[in-house]
Structures are given as C-alpha cells and as structure tokens.
Structure 1
C-alpha cells in the first residue's frame, strides 16, 4: 500500500503541527549530518519554531561557519542586499549625518564656521544664543538665590547660638564678681559693694 502524500500547506491543527515539526526537524538534521559526513561539507542549520524556540545544527563550529559565510558574502558581493544590511546601513548613515549636523551646529554656537551663513541664518543663530543665554541667566539667578537664603539661615542659626552663649556667660560673671568682692573688702563695707555689683549684673 502506497504512503499517502501530505499536502504541502500549513497544518491547521496545533498538536499535529507540533508533532510534524518535531519529526521533520529531526529528519532534516539527520540528512544534514549525513550530507556533511558523505561529502565533507560544512553545514549549519538554524531553525526557529512557531513558539520562537531555537534549534540549530552545525557540522563543526556554528560561529566559524557564520563568519565564513559573512566573509564569502563580502568577497562575492550580492546583487540584492539583504533587508538587515539595508536597515543597518540606513541607520548608520542617518546617525552619521545627525552627528555631523550636531557637530557643525556646536561649532557655530562657539563662533566658528560663520562665514558661509546668510543673514537670515545668522539672525536665527543669534536668536538661539539669546534664548540659551536667558535660560542660563535664570538658572544662575535661582542658584544665587538659593545660596543667599542658605547663608541667611546659617547667619540666623549662628546669631541664636551666640545669644544663648551670652545668656549662659552672664550669671557666671556675676557670680565671680560677687565672690571676688566678698574677699577684697572688709565685712562692714562688703554688703553695700556686693549689692551694687549685683545690681549692675542684673541690669547689664
């Protein structure tokens, strides 16, 4: 009985599709291994399943085979470049052009390469510099205001601390005055002198 041929189209049943993928992938890798052994060929296979799972086979080193393929493509060339190369080259060109434009713009902001500019371009550059100068001035004023407020706060703290130290030193000075007066003068005159010094301390 002859085997029934399976039509080459996408299998709708998910389970049947996964079983077929597993069987045919193993068969494909086996045929690649046989071809490599029989013909002494270097073979590399890369397969992604529908679930983005990677399967690969290489007769030697996958990296070396890919590098060899890239070198071969570089030497032989190609009439129709791949989409990846086109996108990579386009992105590189755009980035390189943008870098050149920004570098030229920076030179002009620094006052270089201005001879070839028209009057309108110079006016536009002057307006741009004026806007940036205004922005810088605002930021500078904000920084200066912050520093002034910080210094005022620190000055107030130091003033308050100084007042506390003065209040702490006044009673000690009065006590020393009273003690020294009691020893320096006779007992009969000590009472009047002590009250006088005490009164001075209280009203200082």
Structure 2
C-alpha cells in the first residue's frame, strides 16, 4: 500500500497532534545522532512540546557548549557582515572623494587657463606682446580700445554734469540764504547802509561847512607887515 503525501500544516485534532509528536520526535533525535556520527559534526537539537516539556540532544558532552559556540558564531557573523557593510561604505565614500577631487582639479586647471588667457589679453590691450598678433587681431584690439575710451568719456562727461548740477544747486541755496539774511538785518540798519549809493553827510554839517568855507570866486591877496589895530 502506497503511503500518501502528508500535507504540511497544523493538525487540528489535539490527540492526533500529540500522537504525531510522540512518533516523530524519536525519529528526529535519531537523525541528529546519525548526522553527528556519520559526518563528524557537532549537532545539538532542542525540542519543546506543546505542554512545555523539554527534549534535547547534543553530540557534545554538554549542550551549553554548543549553544555558546553558536552564539560566538552568530556574533562573528554579525560582526563580519557589519565589517563588510562598513568596507562597502568606506569604498563608496572613497570613490566619491576621489571623484570630487578630480572634479576640483579639473576646475582648477580650467580656471588657471582662463586666467592665463585674460593676462595675455590684458598685456595686448596695454600694448605689449603685439609681435605675434595678426592684422585682424590688431584691428580688433583697436576697436575694443575705442569702445573703452568712448565709455570712459561718457562716464567722465556724466560725472562733470553731475558736479555742475550740484554746484548750481549749492549756488541757488546760498543765494536764497543770503536773501533771507538781508531781509532779517535790513530793519535794524539806517537807510544809508541799505542804500550805499546815497550821500552819508548830515545836512547840518553841510550848512556849517558852507558858511565856514570862503567863496571860491573872491580874490586872494598877500599882506606883509604888522596887523592893523
């Protein structure tokens, strides 16, 4: 009679489940023993029944030694995996660092080349190193200088106009301030100071001067001798 294939799932019947456990447990322990003897392997088997009863087998004298060895192996494996991951990360970081350094080096080389070209162009604009320049290059340099001079003249004219406007504004401000000062001080001074073109001689002084002054039409005579009594 051919034995049918057993479906691997939990047996629902409690009695059948206990019977199956009792039948298969010795076979499992026997297989572990045979594996340790035939292959000279260190084998340890731990079984807990549904009710919590312990069944165990160890090819070593003590199962605890096998468990300690298992723990050391798992720790070593975890450490090894961590080291592998760290090495991978270090390698990735190193590769990124190398790429970054190469990019920076390339940028530095390009910048040095640009600086060198700018220095050559500046020397040509200042009239140096023109012996190797062709006619077209000379013409281009001349046009560039003309454009530069035109820009400089425009800026210079703009600065002059700005200064002129500032001076004119300052002049207007000074005139307004002068007019305000004259308006403030005019009432406290005589009219002669306000009108400097008029005569400053007092009328009485003019009359006295006219009386005491001899006539310019009279004859002037010279008398020598003692005065008459």
Q: Please indicate the TM-score interval, normalised by the length of the shorter structure.
A: 0.3 to 0.5
Structure number with bigger Rg: 2
- TM-score, reference length from structure 2: 0.42
Which structure is higher in helix share? 1
